[in-house]
Chains A and B, each alone.
Chain A
Amino acid sequence: MTKQEQSLKPFEQRSSYIRLLEQITGVVLVGVLLSLVWMVLASILPELGEKIPLQAQVSAVLAILSAALVMISLMALAHTAPRD
């Protein structure tokens, strides 16, 4: 296979490791979207989050957003890595 053909090879065929990375990232992204829903709901109905300390809520959302950023960064770097 020539270098050019290799570069045109569909990404999905190249690595099962990256596919696993994508699956984990997908799950984390669902967590992000749920966090956004939570933020909006808790803004409209503040009594919803009264039973959970605000600091714990913020820490959880911060952890989810940070995890998503790390996972997407890893995936993006792997996905765009120079191909030999």
Chain B
Amino acid sequence: MGDSASNLNAIVTEVVTDGHVRPEELRPEEIAYLKEHALKKPLRVLDIWALGVGVVITGAYFGWNLGLKDNGPVAMLLASLIVCLLYLTWVLVLAELSVAMPFAGGPLAYGRRAWSPGLGFMMGWSMFLECLFATIATGLATGGYVAFLLNPENPDPLVRVLVGLATVVVFFLLQAWGVKEQSWAMMGMTYGAILGLIIFWIAAATNFSWERVWTSPVLPQGLGWVAVLKAVPYALWWLVMIETVALAAEEAHEPHRTIPRGLVLGQLTLIVLVVLTLVTACGAVDSQQLAFTLTTGEDGKQEEQLVDYPLLKAIAMIPVGQSRVLFYGFGCIALFGMIASYHGMIYGTSRQSFSMGRAGYLPSFLGEVHATRRTPVPSLFVCSLITAAFIITSYWFKDAIDVAVLVSTLTALLWYMVAVFCLFLLRRKEPGIFERYRTPLYRMLPITVVLLSAFAAIMYAMTNVTVVLLTVALYALGFIYFGLWARKRLQSAAPEELAARQICAGAENEP
């Protein structure tokens, strides 16, 4: 009991110190609140690497291939390199923010501290939507993937829904169990997902032709450079969600060391995976066949059906893939990619809603943690419930997965740009909090993030206007709740609020 209490004291002290909060100014009830809502801090560089790679690796297994349709492999390669650059610069900027404010709230803390509760809510809500819709998309895709493995000719929608629901239940239980336990599981699944890609590269290399990658003409006639611009929104799916790692900062040991190193190593690993997967897949089979399949409709007309399982389809189309051992063996291992990402995404969603609930921006019960395991069980439960509801709904609404992917990507781009605005504001207001880690190319790298994000967002909005309207509606819903209810009920003892309040007090006391 005594050990447990002293451990909790040590965790609270570390949270307070890492967040640049002055412990002597905390009131007893605030210390008690922090103890009740503190998370453990066991994560190290390898855990952060695994979380970063694991949560994003699903991008290599589905989604990106839709960008090949009509645009071709070279346009997709260029778009993918642009997105790789965006994310490599973004993780360096994110590391600076994350080390300065290592709270589970991540973007909520950045906006709150830099400007106001309103901006904090906007950023926190953006990341919540990004994580939630990515989780939904991956849950749906996992179900669809298993349904295809069981019956490649005619995947059963009911199997898709049932497997999706089973994924939700299993990972709710695993996440509720404990942070370190789920981190071990994440590491195992991440290794499995990488192994799946290595098997794919080797198999695809047996049928590789450079002419399929470097086509003639290099960009489609009639489209030219437009093909690259059109491929950008799909290329984003390769790497979106890496920022989940920032939410782990509160649970990271020595975040100023572990977060930047873990993020960079994870991002570089992912870039290698992106390039090798794209080049080997497009070199093994015709790129258009990775994007869609021609099927005959009920009226006898040929229809294009988009492919949700490009790597498995590529394996099935090459000579070595005729082996059932390779087809089903790869299919089973590739499942690691889907569930590893689902695991990381539900982690991100639950941590974001936990921190917003803890600080009063969302209903306060979401900010509770389990008494002994210190995991945010209510938040995990609610996020899993919403995901399950979407999976069930997808039985009737076939476009659910597309909408989920697109909303997730657009909300992500929006808060990347606002995060850089917060970084510049905070560097001016509180340069002291950035002493432990600073982004290389002090101003240029964050500006590059804004320009690349704006570039991608414009390309995205040009091709998917209806999703923009849905996203606006979701923001409106959030701001109505915040404006009418949450704004006057913010919890002043939450770490994000404490840190922001102390800064305001410090500024007022200055001569």
Contacts and interface: CB of A to CB of B under 8 A. Distances in A.
B85 A43 contact: no
Given A72-B85, A79-B92, A80-B261, A58 B444 contact: no
Give the size category of B's interface with A: 35 or more
Given A33-B451, A43-B226, 6 more contacts: A10-B438, A18-B440, A29-B448, A36-B451, A62-B78, A79-B260
Interface in B45-101: 74, 77-78, 81-82, 84-85, 88-89, 91-92, 95
Contacts of A76: 88, 91-92, 264, 267-268, 440
A69 to B, nearest CB: 6
Contacts, number: 100
A66 to B, nearest CB: 7
3 cross-chain pairs, A with B, having the tightest CB-CB distances, nearest first: A65-B81, A80-B260, A80-B261
Interface string B166-179: 00000000000000
**Which one of A39, A40, A54 has the greatest number of beta carbons of chain B within 10 Å?**
A39
Contacts of A40: 225, 229
B264 A77 contact: yes
19 contacts: A11-B437, A22-B441, A26-B441, A26-B444, A39-B225, A39-B228, A42-B224, A49-B224, A54-B217, A54-B219, A55-B218, A58-B78, A62-B78, A65-B81, A69-B84, A69-B85, A73-B271, A76-B268, A79-B260
A47 to B, nearest CB: 11
A73 B268 contact: yes
A40 B448 CA distance: 17
A44 to B, nearest CB: 9
Interface string A18-55: 10001001100100110010011011001001000011
B256 interface: yes
Contacts of A55: 217-218
Interface of A: 7-8, 10-12, 18, 22, 25-26, 29, 32-33, 36, 39-40, 42-43, 46, 49, 54-55, 58, 61-62, 65-66, 68-69, 72-73, 75-77, 79-82
Nearest to B452: A36
**Which one of A22, A32, A76, A81 has the greatest number of beta carbons of chain B within 10 Å?**
A76
A58 B82 contact: no
A61 B264 CA distance: 24
A11 B229 contact: no
B440 A22 contact: yes
Contacts of A62: 77-78, 81
Given A69-B85, A80-B261, A11 B224 contact: no
Nearest to A59: B218
Contact of A36 (B74, B82, B260, B444): B82
B370 interface: no
Given A69-B85, A72-B85, A77-B268, A7 B256 contact: yes
Contacts of B448: 29, 32-33
Contact of A73 (B88, B218, B224, B229): B88
A54 B216 CA distance: 10
A82 to B, nearest CB: 7
Contacts of B271: 69, 73
Contacts of A54: 217-219, 224
B274 to A, nearest CB: 10
Nearest to A25: B441
Contacts of A29: 441, 444-445, 448
B78 A32 contact: no
A40 B458 CA distance: 11
A73 to B, nearest CB: 6
Nearest to A12: B438
Contacts of A32: 85, 448
